[in-house]
Amino acid sequence: MIDLDQRIVLRRRLCVALCGCAAMAGCMVGPDYHSPAAPATDTYTASPLPEQTASAPGAAGLPQRFVPAQDIPAAWWALFHCEPLDTLIHQAVVNSPNIAAARAALRQARENFSAQAGGTLLPSVDAQLGATREKLNGISFGEPGVVDEFNLYNASVNVSYKLDVFGGARRELEALHAQIDYQSFQLQAAYLAISANIVTAAVKEASLRAQIEATERIAAEEDEQLGLLGKQFELGGVSRTTVLAQQTLLAQTRATLPPLQQQLDQVRHQLAVLAGKLPSDATLPEFRLDMFSLPEALPVSLPSALVRQRPDILAADAVLHQASAQIGVATAAMYPQITLSASYGAEALTPAQVFKAGSTIWSLGAGLLQPVFHGGQLSAQKRAAEAAYEQADAQYRETVLLAFQNVADSLRALDHDATGLKAQTDAWRAASDSLELTRGQYRVGGVSYLSLLDAQRQYQQTVVSLVQAQASRYADTAALFQALGGGWWNTAAPAAAATAQ
């Protein structure tokens, strides 16, 4: 029988043994992860960018300056100074199913890490109560005539601890923590995508409305011209062919309206879904180009900073980290595994005797498992983990390349948009002057109607193209902010507010 002092000593020895084993578990096999270095470049494009873009008349024609190394605000869309746009983005952050799914995935990753951490780094302690009815036959003891039936009651506490000598469990936790990082950056990517998509859709809606209004004005002018030609035809001043040509032009102009209306309806439906609403239930503002202000100072992050800003690059880095940790897990599986166990309790024939002196039972144990032969399974698993790491590394490098391409495309697009808008404005002015001059000449018989018809067609094309060129400057400005990562690292913005809610 073990007295109280002996029990205390036993417990102390058990605790010391477990703590000592935990202290021994300091080695971790497998590679220690380090994020890849940023590309060794200080520019995004092969040729240098101008200090500022070309300018053109109007709010959409303001010159834009490229400011290297300037930080990006978290709510970057506020630089367009469109209050309805700000409101819609904040509503979308709260209501978007994509963001809700990303948040849930992040919570799941955190809980998986917590579950694994509690189960591997700390001893497992279980309390057990049991009662059994047994019948013994004396044959097994060499006493054939002895038969006995009895009840057996027990109460015990069992402790077990798997010693992580070679770091397999900690590498597994490292992989799970990398999964948390991945889901966190996926959430930031969802915020960035929802805001950028709403800005782009709002600009597209404004562009379509401007194109529809311009086309309707042109159609009204052409209809008025058709009325004048009809009167001239009745008086014998023009031929039937002239009237039919004008009717054809008017019909062609009106035929362009239904596709524009369809695109407008589609983009409105898209905005409703982005805001987390049904198209039939959403109450959306009507966006027009004059509601937006063009940001004049454009931040251009350093190439070395881009890999620490873009959520997709950081998510790919987390995947690479996870693959690195899995190499350690597979390597540790090839080494010995040590398990410690202990139990302390009581056993008696009646419940009342379970906690009395003399019923105490205890045990201490240690086990060593050394893999010897698994048919090459463990080596193959390690090689598979190394191949997975190579795959993740290649995918990371591809993500970085595409990110730099996105930024380069956006920077060049902004430069070309400004030049194109200036040229398109000049074309619109020339077409407008040409149309007015041709109309005057036609009234006095100086030119044929075909010349007037051609001038009308040119003017119509330049009006629509001018609207599209204006909208491109806003859309590509938003694309640059998205390509640079969106400024999520600057606190506030929708992420913190939505998470708090």
Q: What is the structure's pLDDT at 121?
A: 78
Q: pLDDT, tens digit, for every residue of 70-80? A: 899 999 999 99
Do 391 and 383 meet the contact criterion of CB atoms below 8 Å apart?
no
Quickly state the pLDDT bin for 501 (edges 50, 70, 90): very low
Pairwise pLDDT comparison (165 vs 400), residue with the higher score: 400
Q: Residue 304 has which token pair?
A: 């070395």
Nearest to 411 by CA among 293, 311, 303, 290: 303
pLDDT at 403 over 90: yes
Residue 26: its pLDDT value, please? 55
Mean pLDDT of the chain: 87
Q: Would the pLDDT of 10 be above 50?
A: no
- Of 14 and 417, which is predicted with more confidence? 417
* Cα–Cα distance measured from residue 191 to residue 212, given in angstroms and rounded to the nearest whole number: 32
Res 281: pLDDT:
84
pLDDT band per the 50, 70, 90 thresholds, residue 19 = very low
Highest mean pLDDT among 3-7, 402-406, 462-466: 402-406
pLDDT in tens, 223-247: 988 898 898 888 887 889 889 988 9
Task: Kindly tell me if the per-residue pLDDT of 137 is higher than 80.
Answer: no
Q: Percent of the chain at pLDDT above 70?
A: 91
User: Who's near 34: CB < 8 A, 6+ residues apart?
Assistant: none
DSSP of 445-495: TSS-HHHHHHHHHHHHHHHHHHHHHHHHHHHHHHHHHHHTTTTTTSS-HHH
Give the burial class of 491: count Cβ atoms within 10 A of its Cβ; 0-12 exposed, 13-18 middle, 19 or more buried. exposed
Instruction: Find out whether 65 and 52 touch, Cβ atoms under 8 Å.
Output: yes
CA distance 283 to 296: 31
Give tens-digit pLDDT for 24-57.
Answer: 445 789 899 999 999 999 899 999 889 899 999 9
CA distance 377 to 56: 68
State the Cα–Cα distance between residues 117 and 320, nearest whole angstrom. Answer: 21
Q: What is the pLDDT of residues 273-332, one digit of tens each?
A: 999 999 988 789 999 999 999 999 999 999 999 999 999 999 999 999 999 999 999 998
Tell me the domains of the chain and their CATH numbers: 1-25+125-163+336-370 (2.20.200.10), 82-121+166-335+394-501 (1.20.1600.10)
163-197 tens-digit pLDDT: 888 888 889 999 999 999 999 999 999 999 999 99
Is residue 146 very low, low, confident or very high in pLDDT (cuts 50, 70, 90)?
A: low
pLDDT tens sequence across 445-500: 888 888 888 888 899 899 999 999 999 999 999 999 999 999 999 865 444 434 43
Q: Report how far residue 67's alpha carbon sits from residue 474's, in angstroms, rounded to the nearest whole number.
A: 18
Please give the pLDDT value at position 142: 67
